[in-house]
A and B are shown apart, each in its own frame.
Chain A
Amino acid sequence: MPRLARIFVKASFVYFVAALLLAALMALDGLAAGQWLRSTYLSQVHLLVVGWISQLIAGIAYWMFPRFLKEQNPQPRGSDRLAWLVILSLNVGLLLRFALEPFALMTGRPWLKALVALSGVLQVVGIAGFGVLIWGRVRTMEI
């Protein structure tokens, strides 16, 4: 399994545990951080759907989809730089949202909302980058 795929997959494992840990904490009553925890609900869903499921899919697809032929692209799995951009953009966006959204919801401060909006844009950049990275590999395999 190539290094970039391993990073996608291991990151997805971390989000899987983190999201379910949050869910378990939410189920506990009377915690001092109760209001903060409740405010993380939307972020928690995104940790699961984007951080765990989508990132795992991205990693496995990056690993297993038919590779480019040498004459199509000297890099058999596509641009490493683009793959790194996808990983960084997606994960920075996810973590930024998780860190700031509860406070944005609790306080309503415009600068916090702006950063949460930026987190969404970063995730779209990562996802669009993944689409570009993998599109040409959705093909039949020439033997």
Chain B
Amino acid sequence: MPTTTRVSVKASFVYFVLGSALGALLLVNRWIPMWDGLFDLRDTHVVFVVDGWVTQLILGVGWWLLPPLQIGLKPGDSSWKRRGQTQRGSEPLFWAIIGLLNAGILLRSLCAPLFEWTDVRLFDVLAGIAPFLLLAAAVGFVVIMWGRVRELKRR
């Protein structure tokens, strides 16, 4: 399992635990109202679970397991040789994708409620940037992985 995958998978587990803990807190708040502001964390709970856990896990495991790129094959070659990480695609680009995804998740999930609680305009602006970071991560992932969604011809 490459380092890139290990980082994104472990990050996804952290989001899963935090996201579900937030969910439990919201349920407890429904029973024993602790603070009205907790309701503003509902979106945070959803973003942590859907983007932080499910999506990030899929990205990390897809990067690890999808068929490698067909690099180094010459016409008439009946076999291919593994060239390690390069056959997965550009590792720096994948790091950038994970960085954009996590930046988008954190900005969206933290700045939106912070704006509700403090009315500081900067948080609203940062929360507004988040969807574009997530979009950039999604586009980057599709670009980097498109060529790997292919038939794997065994020797």
Contacts and interface: CB of A to CB of B under 8 A. Distances in A.
Partners in one complex: yes
DSSP class of B's interface residues: helix, strand, loop or mixed?
Answer: helix
B1 A120 contact: no
B16 A127 contact: yes
Nearest to B2: A140
A76 interface: no
30 contacts: A49-B49, A49-B50, A49-B54, A54-B53, A104-B30, A110-B31, A113-B31, A114-B31, A117-B27, A119-B27, A120-B23, A120-B26, A120-B28, A121-B24, A123-B20, A123-B23, A124-B21, A124-B24, A127-B17, A128-B20, A128-B21, A130-B13, A131-B13, A131-B17, A134-B13, A135-B13, A138-B1, A139-B1, A139-B6, A140-B2
B13 A141 contact: no
Interface of B: 1-2, 6, 9-10, 13-14, 16-17, 20-21, 23-28, 30-32, 49-50, 53-54, 57
Contacts of B9: 138
Interface residues of A, number: 29
A25 B107 CA distance: 37
Interface in A64-121: 65-66, 97, 104, 110, 113-114, 116-117, 119-121
B16 A140 contact: no
Interface of A: 49-50, 53-54, 57, 65-66, 97, 104, 110, 113-114, 116-117, 119-121, 123-124, 127-128, 130-131, 134-135, 138-141
B86 to A, nearest CB: 17
A124 B20 contact: yes
Contacts of B50: 49
Given A127-B20, A130-B13, 18 more contacts: A49-B50, A113-B31, A116-B27, A117-B24, A117-B32, A120-B20, A120-B23, A121-B28, A123-B23, A124-B20, A124-B21, A124-B23, A128-B17, A131-B14, A135-B13, A138-B9, A139-B6, A140-B6
Contacts of B25: 120
B13 A116 contact: no
Contacts of B14: 131
Contacts of A124: 17, 20-21, 23-24
A128 B2 CA distance: 24
